[in-house]
Amino acid sequence: MKLCVIIPYFGTFNSYFHLWKQSCGNNRDIDWLLFTDQILDDLPVNMKYVYMTFSDMKKRLEDKFDKKACLNRPYKLCDYKPYYGYIFSEYLTEYDFWGYCDCDVIFGDILSFLTDDIFSEYDKLLRTGHLCFVRNKKEISENFFRYPTYKTVIHSPVIYGYDESVKGFHLGFAGELLESGYRFYNDSSKIADIDFRHFPFYIIGNDKTPVSFIYKKGKLYCLKNIDGQNKLEEMMYLHLQKRKMEVKTNSLDEIIIYPNTIDTLQNTVPDDSFWEKISKESDVYYSGKAERKDSIKRDILRFLYEPRKISSIVYRIRRRIKL
C-alpha cells in the first residue's frame, strides 16, 4: 500500500515545525510531499518538497479548473484540500491513496490505527482536514465535478469548511463521496483534537478532563490524571489548532506536551503541582465575542456568494423547524 500526503504551505512555519517533520519521518511507510515558498533542509527520507510561490499555486488552480480562482490568502487552501488529488495528479501516479494534513499536529504511529484492512475496505479515511486519505482513482479524485459546490468554493473568498463537512446545504467532500456510493471511514476516537477555546488541553468530544501528551519511540500517548494516578492511552495524533507553543527541545525523543509548552520529560515531571498548573483556565485566553463576530461575518459573506440564495434560505428555515 503506497500512501502520499500532500501539504501546500506558504509563509513561515510554526515554532514546532521541526518536531512535526520528525513525527512525519517516523511514519516511514507514508510519503510526505510539501509545496512551499520556504527553503527546507534536514528533511526525513520519506519527505520531499517542491519550491512553489503562492502565485504559482494560484496559477496551478486556475490552469486546472480553467477558471479564475479566489485565493487571496493561504488559509483559503483549507477549502481546496479535497481537490489535491486532481490538482497534483501528476505527482501521485505510483500511489494507492493520496491525502492531506495540517502542520499544527504531532503524529503518532498512524498506521497502527489505520490498518491495511481499513485501507482495503474504504475509499476515504477520516473526515478532518488535519489528516485524511483518499483512494487514488480518477473517478474518486474528480467526483466533486458532479456537484456545483466546487464552483462556489473556487469563486468565493469565504471559508466553507468544505474539506471537513459531511452534511448541510453544501454536502462537503465526504458527503458528496457518500452520496456517490463511496465508502467512508470516520473513527476519530484516537484523534486528540484540542479545543482552542480553553487554555487547558481538552479533547473535543470528550469530557472536560485536562490532559497532556507524551511522545516516545514513535508513539504518542494521551496522559490523564485519574484519582491521583497518571494513565496513558495511545493516540493517532495531536492537533494543536490555534496554539502558539513554546518549544524547549529540538528533538522528538521523549517529550511532554502541555499548555502551551513542548519540553523534554527530563525537565518536566507530571506530579500534582504540574496537573494543578495546567488545569487552570485563563479568562483572557479566548474571546467568544470575537469568535461569534467572525462567524456572523462568514455567514453573511457565504450568503452573498451563494448562487442558490432562495434554496439556501428554504433549507435553513426547514432545519430550524425540525430543531
Structural domain range at position 202: 191-278
Which DSSP letter does residue 288 get? Answer: H
Q: Torsion-angle region of residue 227: left (phi > 0), alpha (psi -120 to 50) or beta?
A: left
pLDDT single digits (tens) 133-165: 999 999 999 999 999 899 888 888 888 888 888
Assess if residue 144 is contained within a domain.
yes
State the total domains in the chain. Answer: 2
- C-alpha cell of residue 117: 484492512
3-state SS string over 4-35?
Answer: EEEEEECCCCCCCHHHHHHHHHCCCCEEEEEE
| Claim to verify: residue 22 and residue 62 sit in the same structural domain | yes
Q: Hey, which residues does 258 pair with through a beta bridge? A: 261
User: What confidence tier does 87 reach under pLDDT thresholds 50, 70, 90?
Assistant: very high
| Claim to verify: residue 180 and residue 209 sit in the same structural domain | no
Please, which residues have CB within 8 angstroms of residue 139's CB and are 6 or more apart in sequence?
none
Q: Which of 135, 165, 185 is the last residue of a domain?
A: 185
* For the chain, percent of residues with pLDDT exceeding 90: 72
Full DSSP string of 65-77? HTS----SSGGGH
pLDDT single digits (tens) 252-280: 999 999 999 999 999 998 999 999 999 99
| Claim to verify: residue 239 and residue 254 sit in the same structural domain | yes
- C-alpha cell of residue 107: 503524529
Q: Are strands 237-239 and 105-107 parallel, antiparallel or unpaired?
A: antiparallel
Quote the CA–CA distance of 133 and 233 in Å, as a whole number. Answer: 24
Domain harbouring 68, CATH code: 3.90.550
Assess if residue 202 is contained within a domain.
yes
Assess if residue 215 is contained within a domain.
yes
pLDDT at 206: 87
| Claim to verify: residue 126 and residue 212 sit in the same structural domain | no
Contact 72, 157 (CB under 8 A): yes
pLDDT single digits (tens) 34-59: 999 999 999 999 999 999 999 999 99
| Claim to verify: residue 178 and residue 108 sit in the same structural domain | yes
Assess if residue 311 is contained within a domain.
no
Assess if residue 250 is contained within a domain.
yes
| Claim to verify: residue 204 and residue 180 sit in the same structural domain | no
Q: Is the pLDDT of residue 323 over 80?
A: no
Q: Is the pLDDT of residue 284 over 80?
A: no
| Claim to verify: residue 117 and residue 208 sit in the same structural domain | no
Q: Is the pLDDT of residue 322 over 70?
A: no
Assess if residue 244 is contained within a domain.
yes
Q: Which of 169, 185, 201 is the last residue of a domain?
A: 185
| Claim to verify: residue 35 and residue 173 sit in the same structural domain | yes
User: What confidence tier does 318 reach under pLDDT thresholds 50, 70, 90?
Assistant: confident
User: What confidence tier does 25 reach under pLDDT thresholds 50, 70, 90?
Assistant: very high
User: What confidence tier does 315 reach under pLDDT thresholds 50, 70, 90?
Assistant: confident
Residues 149-166: b if buried by 16+ CB within 10 A, e if exposed: bbebbbebebbbebbbbe
- C-alpha cell of residue 279: 488545569
Q: Which of 210, 207, 205, 240 is nearest to 222 (CA)?
A: 210
What's the mean per-residue pLDDT of the chain?
92
| Claim to verify: residue 161 and residue 29 sit in the same structural domain | yes
pLDDT at 67: 76
Q: Which amino acid is at 89?
A: S
pLDDT single digits (tens) 214-259: 999 999 999 999 888 899 999 999 999 999 999 999 999 999 999 9
Q: Which of 101, 144, 97, 100 is nearest to 123 (CA)?
A: 97
| Claim to verify: residue 131 and residue 214 sit in the same structural domain | no
| Claim to verify: residue 209 and residue 173 sit in the same structural domain | no
Assess if residue 313 is contained within a domain.
no
Residues 216-246: b if buried by 16+ CB within 10 A, e if exposed: eebebbbbbbeeeeeeeeebbbbbbeebebe
Among 102-116, 145-159, 161-175, the minimum mean pLDDT is found in 161-175
Q: Which of 270, 262, 197 is nearest to 23 (CA)?
A: 262
User: What confidence tier does 286 reach under pLDDT thresholds 50, 70, 90?
Assistant: confident
| Claim to verify: residue 137 and residue 166 sit in the same structural domain | yes
Would you call 209 helix, strand, or coil by DSSP? coil
Quote the CA–CA distance of 253 and 54 in Å, as a whole number. Answer: 34
Handedness of CA 45, 47, 48, 49 (dihedral sign): negative
Assess if residue 17 is contained within a domain.
yes
Q: Which of 185, 217, 234 is the last residue of a domain?
A: 185
